[in-house]
Amino acid sequence: MKAAVIVFPGSNCDRDLADAFERASGRRPAMVWHKETEIPAGTDIVGIPGGFSFGDYLRCGAIAARSPIARAIVDFARRGGMVIGICNGFQVLTETGLLPGALMRNAGLKFICRTEPLIVETTDSPFTRNYARGEEIRIPIAHHDGNYQVSEAELAALRDADRIAFTYAHNPNGSVGSIAGVLSENRRVLGMMPHPERRVDPAQGGTDGLRLFTSIVDALAPA
């Protein structure tokens, strides 16, 4: 598996995400600077990490979605490439239009960092195949703007198409339908607010996040 991790000047989970990919696949991802205009040839999956890409002084992820590399990510996804965006990466994905909806300020208006129980809503995706449907997993969240909103019609469409990947067991931020992560129509783009890369080693307090990365590795393994 060949992964590429995007680095914006304010990314601060890029190393953690690269470590998680490496732990699952045994291969160090390429780190791709935001001023690049192409995804490295042969890339299987692009990871957009958490952080504050351009300080998030405008809407979170808005400037990143207009950076040179964002265009390359959109092309890559449209050609069927796999993309995962975590936290700020999820915000970037909604800003590019690769995923529906928007991430608003948390309902309580404060930054929240704690480990939350999530429900795995679907295993029909290359990101969640190694979980069980309905399984509860514990993954940290750390965000100020994780309140996911889509219109009622879009929500119904997401549900009908089984595109909700994860929900919160106890909605911490006001997200519609308690949504923590959603899939693209072709199921190859995932955006999620929680940080699976912070739960890949028992020393971190659990390994519930590791199976997301091994799912990706398994999905990409030659059959």
Q: Mind telling me the catalytic residues? A: 87, 195, 197
Q: Which is nearer to another protein, 89 or 101 (CB)?
A: 89
Pairing of strands 112-120, 136-143: antiparallel
Q: Write out the two tokens for 103.
A: 């991430």
Q: For another protein, give the closer residue by CB, 15 or 59.
A: 15
Q: How far is the CB of 2 from another protein (least distance, A)?
A: 22
Smallest separation, CB 12 to another protein (Å): 3
If DSSP codes are grouped into helix, strand and coil, which group holds residue 177?
helix
Question: Which of 79, 110 has the CB closer to another protein?
Answer: 110
Which residue, 16 or 121, is less far from another protein as judged by CB? 16
Three-state DSSP string of 47-61: EECCECCCCCCCCCC
Q: Token pair for residue 123?
A: 């295993």
Q: Which of 94, 74, 76 is nearest to 86 (CA)?
A: 94
**Which residues sit opposite 6 in a β-bridge?**
32
Shortest distance (Å) from residue 199 CB to another protein: 9
What are the residues binding another protein (CB under 8 A)?
9-10, 12-13, 15-16, 19-20, 50-52, 54-57, 108, 110-114, 140, 142, 144, 195, 197-198, 200-201, 203-205
Q: How far is the CB of 29 from another protein (least distance, A)?
A: 15
Q: Which residues, including other chains, have CB under 8 Å from residue 49's CB and lie 6 or more apart?
A: 5, 6, 7, 11, 12, 13, 14, 16, 17, 86, 87, 88, 89, 197
Distance between first and last Cα of the chain: 13
